[in-house]
């Protein structure tokens, strides 16, 4: 009985002792140390995010500050008389196309400066006009041959140096020896501007033209079409093969050392540098099979090889995320394994598969090294009209323009990067939207 009375009386003492142990100065010091470490860790995390965002803002700010001006272009408004004697009687489309439109535009332009004489001065005046100004007139006449013999108003581009001058990128106060334009050329250009013949407009040539040696005429249309054709080939090859491989490995393949070896190699291929796939395409597709060089067909095949591991890994993860009860219920109702897969498991895994595919395609869109290895860095002045025509791609176009020293190509390089980033944001945004729209929570 004494022990029974004594035992409860000792319990409060033990409780008090435990509380005293946790509230002792040593314990409080340890708690403060842990809390301080936690606060430091949170501060490190916030600092890392702020640093990453700062670097991103600096990068994007640098690109935008250099490239926004490429979306506008300086044009010259001219009254051009299209002489009928420059064309044969009843000219066909080929004869109309072969006419010397640059000379017609140049003659109309030089008529604005009747006082300029001498070969050197006349050459300096003609330097204000773009070397491709005749293409604008040619396009108008090709669309409407009835303009032959008439006087029309046409807007033509000025040379890149004067476009940069009009945009304020050439300092007028610098000595003439440090400028690409002379004082006299600036005076002539100002005279055109005072006459209301100089205007800034949206640069449709940036999206309508292919590449050119003249910055004021260079555009992205050829690179955009080349990227489109290459991505179509990539999607047609990588998506069905990747999804089929994922289905077999996840649902039907026996678990043994061979399938383990295949899985390890797929994971390793996802980490192989992209230039290795370019070397593979150069050795196999071009040298062995003799496929056309610089073609989107070969580029798409190389990018498909590079994208396959990403699609297989993403598809397997999506299939694995489907609850086993779905398969078991289908099998319990008498469905075969193939029916359970294609009627139940695959539709539920498709949102994740599509998300992984779009991310893989976005990665392929931004790749440059494998395309350089198969020759898609060639100078292509015409946009491709098919999968086997010579072409380039958006990231390769950025690479080509970045190697040009002219200020006009510098701004177009940044503008091309902005367009490429826009496409990547669109593709990744589509992947996020698909995931959110079709996501199932189990």
- Convert the pLDDT of each residue in 256-278 to its tens digit: 889 889 989 998 988 889 999 99
Residue 308 has pLDDT above 90, yes or no: yes
Give the tens place of pLDDT for each residue, 195-210: 999 999 999 999 999 9
Residue 93 placed within a domain = yes
Tell me, yes or no, whether 123 and 242 share the same domain: no
379 band by pLDDT with thresholds 50, 70 and 90: confident
Question: How far apart are the C-alpha atoms of 271 and 132, rounded to whole Å?
Answer: 46
Give the per-residue pLDDT at 192. Answer: 94
CB 72 within 8 A of CB 202: yes
Residue from 197, 204, 200 nearest 77 by CA? 197
CB 264 within 8 A of CB 312: no
Q: Which range has the top average pLDDT, 31-35, 244-248, 340-344? A: 244-248
Torsion angle in degrees (nearest 10) through CA of 350, 354, 357, 359: -140
CB 226 within 8 A of CB 368: no
Give the tens place of pLDDT for each residue, 383-425: 899 999 999 999 999 999 998 888 889 999 999 999 999 999 9
Residue 66 placed within a domain = no
Q: In whole angstroms, how far apart are CA 47 and each of 37, 40, 60, 285?
A: 15, 10, 20, 48
28's CB contacts (< 8 A; 6+ apart) are: none
Tell me, yes or no, whether 249 and 192 share the same domain: no
Tell me, yes or no, whether 406 and 338 share the same domain: yes
pTM attached to this predicted model: 0.85
Residue from 359, 264, 272, 261 nearest 318 by CA? 359
Tell me, yes or no, whether 181 and 283 share the same domain: no
DSSP string, 6-48: HHHHHHHHHHHHHHHHHTSHHHHHHHHHHHHHHHHHHHHHHHH
Give the per-residue pLDDT at 1. Answer: 41
Which of 151, 170, 202 finishes a domain? 202
Tell me, yes or no, whether 225 and 137 share the same domain: no
Residue 247 has pLDDT above 90, yes or no: yes
Give the tens place of pLDDT for each residue, 17-63: 445 556 788 888 888 899 999 999 999 999 999 999 999 999 999 99
Residue 306 host element (H or E):
helix 296-321
Residue 344 has pLDDT above 80, yes or no: yes
Mapped onto helix, strand or coil, the DSSP state of residue 371 is helix
Tell me, yes or no, whether 228 and 196 share the same domain: no
Residue 2 has pLDDT above 90, yes or no: no
The chain-wide mean pLDDT, for the chain, equals 88
Tell me, yes or no, whether 154 and 246 share the same domain: no
CATH code, 249: 1.10.3720.10
CB 210 within 8 A of CB 381: yes
Rg (C-alpha) for the chain, rounded Å, is 34
Average pLDDT, integer, range 163-185: 88
Residue 212 placed within a domain = no
Q: Judging by beta carbons within 10 Å of its beta carbon (0-12, 13-18, 19+), is residue 12 exposed, middle or buried?
A: exposed
Residue 441 has pLDDT above 90, yes or no: no
Cβ neighbours, 10 Å, residue 86 = 14
Residue 94 has pLDDT above 50, yes or no: yes
Question: Which residues, in sequence order, are bridge partners of residue 153?
Answer: 79
Residue from 298, 301, 283, 303 nearest 384 by CA? 298
Expressed as residue numbers, the domain containing 126 is 72-202
Tell me, yes or no, whether 416 and 270 share the same domain: yes
Beta sheet of 72-81, edge-to-edge order: 151-157, 72-81, 198-202
Residue 235 placed within a domain = yes
The tokens for 9 are 């009386």
Give the per-residue pLDDT at 3. Answer: 46
Residue 173 placed within a domain = yes
104 band by pLDDT with thresholds 50, 70 and 90: very high
Which of 175, 202, 229 finishes a domain? 202
Q: Which range has the top average pLDDT, 44-58, 113-127, 340-354? A: 44-58
Question: How far apart are the C-alpha atoms of 376 and 399, rounded to whole Å?
Answer: 11
Q: How many domains does the chain have?
A: 2
Residue 379 placed within a domain = yes
8 band by pLDDT with thresholds 50, 70 and 90: very low
Mapped onto helix, strand or coil, the DSSP state of residue 72 is strand
Average pLDDT, integer, range 327-349: 89
- 77 phi and psi angles, rounded to 5 deg: -90, 125
CB 352 within 8 A of CB 435: yes
H helices present in 113-220, as ranges = 119-126, 133-143, 160-166, 183-194, 205-208
How much of the chain, in percent, has pLDDT values that exceed 70?
Answer: 94
160 vs 437, more confident: 160
Residue 301 placed within a domain = yes
442 band by pLDDT with thresholds 50, 70 and 90: low
312 band by pLDDT with thresholds 50, 70 and 90: very high
DSSP string, 377-424: TS---S---STTS----HHHHHHHHHT--SHHHHHHHHHHHHHHHHHH
Give the per-residue pLDDT at 16. Answer: 44
Give the per-residue pLDDT at 172. Answer: 87
CB 195 within 8 A of CB 77: no
Residue 257 host element (H or E):
helix 257-269
Q: Judging by beta carbons within 10 Å of its beta carbon (0-12, 13-18, 19+), is residue 412 exposed, middle or buried?
A: buried
Tell me, yes or no, whether 281 and 427 share the same domain: yes
Positive or negative: CA dihedral 34, 39, 42, 44: negative
Give the per-residue pLDDT at 11. Answer: 46
Tell me, yes or no, whether 176 and 231 share the same domain: no
Question: How far apart are the C-alpha atoms of 208 and 350, rounded to whole Å?
Answer: 36
192 vs 13, more confident: 192
Tell me, yes or no, whether 230 and 349 share the same domain: yes
Give the per-residue pLDDT at 89. Answer: 80
Residue 298 has pLDDT above 90, yes or no: yes
Tell me, yes or no, whether 189 and 278 share the same domain: no
Residue 56 placed within a domain = no
Question: How far apart are the C-alpha atoms of 56 and 63, rounded to whole Å?
Answer: 11
Residue 86 has pLDDT above 80, yes or no: yes
């Amino acid at each position: 009985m004494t022990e029974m009375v004594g035992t409860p009386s000792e319990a409060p003492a033990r409780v008090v002792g435990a509380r005293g142990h946790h509230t002792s100065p040593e314990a409080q010091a340890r708690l403060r140390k842990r809390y301080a470490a936690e606060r430091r860790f949170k501060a490190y995390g916030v600092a890392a995010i702020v640093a990453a965002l700062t670097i991103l803002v600096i990068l994007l700010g640098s690109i935008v500050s250099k490239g926004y001006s490429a979306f506008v272009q300086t044009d010259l408004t001219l009254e051009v008389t299209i002489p009928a004697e420059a064309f044969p009687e009843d000219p066909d489309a080929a004869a109309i196309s072969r006419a010397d439109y640059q000379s017609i535009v140049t003659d109309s332009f030089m008529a604005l400066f009747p006082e300029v004489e001498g070969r050197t001065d006349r050459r300096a005046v003609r330097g204000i006009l773009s070397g491709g100004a005749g293409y604008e007139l040619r396009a108008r006449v090709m669309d409407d041959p009835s303009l032959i013999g008439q006087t029309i108003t046409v807007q033509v581009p000025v040379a890149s140096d004067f476009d940069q001058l009009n945009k304020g990128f050439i300092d007028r106060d610098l000595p003439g020896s440090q400028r690409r334009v002379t004082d006299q050329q600036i005076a002539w250009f100002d005279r055109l501007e005072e006459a209301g013949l100089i205007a800034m407009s949206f640069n449709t040539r940036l999206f309508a033209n292919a590449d050119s040696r003249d910055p004021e005429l260079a555009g992205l249309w050829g690179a955009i079409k080349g990227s489109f054709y290459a991505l179509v080939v990539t999607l047609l090859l990588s998506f069905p093969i990747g999804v089929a491989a994922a289905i077999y490995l996840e649902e039907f393949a026996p678990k043994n050392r061979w399938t383990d070896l295949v899985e390890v190699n797929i994971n390793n291929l996802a980490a192989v540098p992209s230039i290795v796939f370019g070397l593979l395409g150069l050795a196999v597709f071009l040298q062995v099979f003799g496929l056309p060089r610089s073609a989107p067909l070969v580029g798409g095949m190389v990018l498909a090889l590079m994208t396959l591991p990403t699609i297989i890994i993403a598809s397997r993860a999506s299939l694995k995320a489907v609850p086993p009860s779905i398969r078991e219920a289908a099998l319990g109702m008498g469905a075969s394994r193939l029916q359970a897969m294609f009627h139940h498991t695959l539709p539920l895994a498709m949102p994740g598969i599509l998300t992984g595919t779009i991310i893989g395609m976005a990665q392929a869109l931004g790749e440059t090294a494998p395309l350089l290895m198969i020759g898609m860095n060639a100078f292509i002045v015409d946009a491709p009209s098919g999968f086997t025509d010579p072409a380039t791609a958006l990231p390769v176009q950025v690479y080509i323009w970045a190697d040009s020293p002219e200020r006009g190509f510098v701004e177009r390089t940044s503008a091309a990067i902005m367009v490429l980033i826009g496409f990547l944001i669109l593709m990744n945004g589509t992947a996020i939207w698909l995931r959110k729209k079709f996501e199932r929570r189990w």
